[in-house]
Amino acid sequence: MTTRRLGRCTASAICAILLFLASTPNRAADPTPSLKWETSRTTLPEDIEELRALQERVRTVVEKCTPATVALRVRLGGFGEAAGSGVIVSEDGLVLTAAHVIAGEGGGKTYTAGRDVIIVLADGKTAKGKTLGINEKMDSGMVKITDKGPNNGKWPFAPIARSADVKKGQWVVSLGHPGGPKTGRPPVARLGRVENTTRDLIRSNCTLVGGDSGGPLFDLDGQVIGIHSRIGLTLNQNIHVPTDQYKNDWDALVAGEVVGRPQKTSGAVVGVVFSDDENDDAWLVEVDADGPAGKAGLQPGDTITKFDDQVIKSVKQFRDILKDKKPAEVVKLTVRRGTKVFTVPVTLGRRGG
């Protein structure tokens, strides 16, 4: 038998092809692939048969997980309404989401459980719910659907996996409601891979936009491994809260407690993405070309060795110094690029600005 190779097909091109095929309605089913895709695999498909096997696995995940993926509309007192996504994880209607979806940005100071929530189901129907607890530092939150489920009072739900088992390069599926729920549109699926994982976060290249916050990240067994938290410098560099963090706070979240507090910050930014390991050297994974560091000439791969006159030995140390700085303040960063070391002035930017 002749094997048809995929050649230099990129991961992003594969994601686009597979998601189109997996989400196109009323399409004649492909013949069952002769190969089965290993769900923990971390490499690209190498030929057409492997591509078809991955395609079938993605389609199965989307069909299985869509009913459990919801949109949330939350009343924030006098601050209007917030919208985001979530995922049902128990038959009695527990929903995992992001803290900032149900509390508002910085809302933990005045947050109390019991806020009204409208849950928009995958088929467009709605149900009532109440907010439960949040962990503001982790950006994790929980909601309880108070209406009875459609299946003898039970709700469709997705199982939760152990996020500590997630591997770099592993294929994952993101579901959510980009731009908020749309009439006649089910949750939108995006395919990607895990770029890095630590105890506190999962970074993937699944594309996310506003409205996806709080939505689920699934492994290819259809299990929840993370919840969408925040978008990176680009739409396909995104952070998810690992499910193990929810398990650590489970009883407190169910009880409606506010757990943890975010580290106080001035809001000053340099416009870079560091390694996810806080103890690693302060080397730059990404640089926003239009941000403070990019305008100062810094590039991906550079390592920051001094902040003003203080030697920097880790990402955590850099962030600890930065949190005491103010937007528009000019600082000196000493940078190592290969064998070259140089110092540049950087005018700090404002978070969200």
pLDDT recorded at residue 350 = 83
pLDDT recorded at residue 334 = 96
The answer as to whether 167 is a domain residue is yes
Range of the domain at 285: 268-350
* Count of structural domains within the chain: 3
Parallel, antiparallel or unpaired: strands 81-88 and 126-135 = unpaired
Indicate whether 36 and 110 sit together in one domain: no
Contact between residue 39 and residue 57 where contact means Cβ atoms under 8 Å apart? yes
pLDDT recorded at residue 278 = 80
What does pTM read for this prediction? 0.76
What does the alpha-carbon distance between residue 195 and residue 128 come to, in Å, rounded to a whole number?
36
Spatial neighbors of 28 by CB under 8 A, at least 6 apart, are none
The answer as to whether 3 is a domain residue is no
110-114: long-range contacts (C-beta < 8 A, 24 or more apart)?
Answer: 110/77, 111/136, 111/258, 112/256, 113/256, 113/257, 114/256
pLDDT recorded at residue 331 = 96
Q: Which of 258, 278, 305 is the last residue of a domain?
A: 258
CA 169 to chain centre: 15
pLDDT recorded at residue 105 = 64
The answer as to whether 5 is a domain residue is no
Contact between residue 270 and residue 287 where contact means Cβ atoms under 8 Å apart? no
In order along the chain (353 residues), what is the average pLDDT of each group of 10 residues?
52 60 51 80 92 94 98 78 94 97 74 93 96 94 97 97 96 96 94 92 92 97 96 80 97 94 69 83 89 94 95 93 92 94 94 52
pLDDT recorded at residue 22 = 52
The answer as to whether 263 is a domain residue is no
The answer as to whether 45 is a domain residue is yes
Indicate whether 341 and 203 sit together in one domain: no
CA atoms within 13 A on the CB side of 285: 16
Indicate whether 194 and 174 sit together in one domain: yes
CB environment 29-55: b (16+ within 10 A), e (fewer): eeeebeeebeeebeebbeeeebbbbbb
